Amino acid sequence: MHTTNTIGTIILGAGASSRMGRPKQLLEWRNELLVNRAIRQATALSAGPVVLVLGANAEVIAGKVTDPFIITAVNDNWAEGMGGSIVTGLKALQKHRSNLEGVLITLVDQPLITTTHLSEIIEKFKKNNTPLVAAAYGNTLGVPALFSADLFPRLLTLSGKEGAKKIIHQVRDKLTKWPLPVAKIDLDTPEEWKAFLAKEN
């Protein structure tokens, strides 16, 4: 448990899930909606404030969120891509806590990511005194990823389809890689969801 409360978390859940045909955020696994699962894993860290960023279907999804204390921020320009959602989430976090040491970025549609995984990333961040800890899976680096406050100005310049990977690429030589094979999951189509359920249940 980190009692300093200076690591904020952004849960990205603004996408329209057009290929899925219904909001991914509201898919149910183990008697829990994916959006509520992601919130539960993040809030259990007790590391700092948690912001859920919504966009497409925001009202419907917000109505299904079971945590009354979660901070919700809506990215009205969600259709332009993930960059704006990261900016929306970070601004909302900074409103709630001005002295953040870092921000952890996670996705609604990575159901295998647990509080333990996120906690390991935070511990690695604090121990290594590194500007960035990124999940390593497949042949790539991505989220969950923890960005130090020094990188906030760069995160705030993201727009359109530029996501966290742009910054990860920029500081590739200084970051800490955290092997996290469970982060490599694509839940974009009904077929992928069906295959996931068959495998995990």
184: amino acid identity, one letter: K
**Topology of the domain comprising 7-200:** Spore Coat Polysaccharide Biosynthesis Protein SpsA; Chain A (3.90.550)
Of the chain, the percentage scoring pLDDT greater than 70 comes to: 98
CB-based contact 84:77 (threshold 8 Å): yes
Domains of the chain, residue spans: 7-200
pLDDT tens-place string over residues 96-133 = 998 999 999 999 999 999 999 999 999 999 999 899 99
Query: Given the structure tokens 């900016």, which residue do they identify?
Result: 87
Of the candidates 40, 36, 18, the residue with the CA atom closest to the CA atom of residue 27? 36
Q: Label residue 1 by pLDDT band (50, 70, 90).
A: very low
pLDDT tens-place string over residues 19-62 = 999 999 999 999 999 999 999 999 999 999 999 999 999 999 99
Of the candidates 66, 44, 184, the residue with the CA atom closest to the CA atom of residue 114? 44
Run of H or E including 166: helix 164-170
Q: Label residue 179 by pLDDT band (50, 70, 90).
A: very high
Q: Label residue 4 by pLDDT band (50, 70, 90).
A: low
What six digits make up the tokens of 18? Answer: 């057009």
Predicted TM-score (pTM) of the model is: 0.95
Of the chain, the percentage scoring pLDDT greater than 90 comes to: 91
